Amino acid sequence: MRKIKTPDHFISLPEAVKLNREQVAENHKRYLNSGLAMMLSLLNFDKQFIKAEGIKVWDSDGNLYLDFLGAYGALNLGHNHPRVLAALEQVKEFPNMLQASLGTVVSALAQNIAAITPGDLQRSFFCNSGAEAVEGALKLARAATGRQRIVYCEGSFHGKTMGALSVTGREQYQKAFQPLIPGIVSIPFGDLNALEDKLKDKTAAAFIVEPIQGEAGIILPPAGYLSGARQICAKYNTLLIFDEIQTGLGRTGEMFACRHENVTPDIMCLAKSLGGGVMPVGAFITTDDIWERAYGGMEKARLHTSTFGGNTWAAAAAIATLEVLYEEDLPERARKNGDYLLAGLNRLKENYPLIKEVRGRGLMAGLEFNQPEGFVVKATLGLANKISQEYMGSLIAVELLNKYRIITAYTLNNPNVIRLEPPLQVTREQIDTLLEALDGIFRKHKGFISLAATSAKTIFKSFTKKSS
């Protein structure tokens, strides 16, 4: 067989894993998202990580970090869990994708999902991401009810594909892509009166809601909100969709966050940690009745499909993930260690006025910071001003990363909130390391001005170093 020479500047895999930090940054700036690469480099967030295990990651200089970000809740099992990697080894000779057949491993995964989800949720559709799961859930609701309107909550985050973006509650992400999907209306999160007002004309196909709003800043609903939403949706024959993409699979101290109120939705969306941090897996699951109304029979069976959805490797990773969650009782560990983490954060709040509020449940915690109005950082770079004024969480994240080697990030819809979503195996010793680091930061920086000045220096040093 004739071997064709690879093009010039083509990088082989053995060469790729040997790229240094500067080469990686240059590739991102030239061939990927240059604006994002610039922002991360200014904050010194462009470190090159080359090894990961559990909650620990190592950079190219051999430094050890603790990952308290957990890929936005996708690493409930941590990095490179051996059981998930072993699962891929078990199916390596199976056809991974063969659409002209019924998948063996995915059939087992579907049965397992039905076994662990609440109520009579039974039929699953598998895809590759949370946004795809939301897209599928919205389509299912319209197809099953014959209605068009979808109701969602202000401050929500359900993804950035067109349908998911239409029910995501932040204008900054929507504006460039308008007009979005028609027939979509928003209401305040936690307001049952507003929900009933939008449903009473019986034209809404579904109400989609996160049991805890993640990107809004880890916002818990008022007590009774989820059960109240369940009753109102049932009253007007509107389907209730719970987006458990970030809250599900043990994160909040229950396998699913809706179990804190013992509520069962009509449709549930899953993704993120379902693939064990190794494979991209998303899913929505619904009842037999709703599925049959939307996609029952051969004529409607292929109205909604996915090329990669439910492939063998993804399904195997998901089965192994569910096994580990139960065998290691990770939801209970998340509950106990989450209580420990939140108690520690509240002690810090008592001592430091910079902290506005501590929120969370299980190992899904948010730390919101106070910020003076009208303050402008006297920094050389305009970008430093913007980051310092609007992204208080990033200032804390910069300190945690560069001084204490702890990885965190702010929430997308509220940049003044640091999110803490470590792998569920996190130990109390590691939590103490985080709490001590935060205490050190707040003790050193008594207020916003000191933090902003430190951040501005980091940005300026990064800028001058990368410009030279």
Active site residues: 157, 243, 272
- Among residues 64, 388, 393, 387, the alpha carbon closest in space to that of 216 is found at 393
- Report the alpha-carbon distance of residue 158 to residue 169 in Å, rounded: 9
- Among residues 408, 439, 273, the alpha carbon closest in space to that of 344 is found at 439
Residues in a beta bridge with 360 = 365
In order of 108, 208, 353, the CA distances from 113 in angstroms are 9, 20, 45
Characterize 138-165 residue by residue with b for buried, 16 or more Cβ atoms within 10 angstroms of its Cβ, and e for exposed: bbbbbbbbebebbbbbbbbbbbeeebbb
- Among residues 428, 425, 356, 432, the alpha carbon closest in space to that of 396 is found at 356
* The two three-digit tokens of residue 424, written as one number: 């569920």
Task: Tell me the HSE value of 468 on the side-chain side, using a 13 A CA sphere.
Answer: 6
- Report the alpha-carbon distance of residue 425 to residue 439 in Å, rounded: 23
- Angle between helix axes 330-351 and 428-444 (nearest 10 degrees) is 20
In order of 70, 77, 156, 214, the CA distances from 259 in angstroms are 23, 21, 20, 17
- Report the alpha-carbon distance of residue 135 to residue 57 in Å, rounded: 33
- Among residues 118, 137, 363, 153, the alpha carbon closest in space to that of 258 is found at 118
| Residues whose CB is less than 8 angstroms from the CB of residue 376 and which lie 6 or more positions away in sequence, other chains included | 385, 389
Beta strands, E only, 28-74: 49-53, 56-59, 64-67
Beta strands, E only, 362-403: 364-369
Beta strands, E only, 295-445: 355-361, 364-369, 406-407, 409-411, 414-420
Residue recorded with tokens 């939403």: 229
- Among residues 20, 92, 30, the alpha carbon closest in space to that of 50 is found at 20
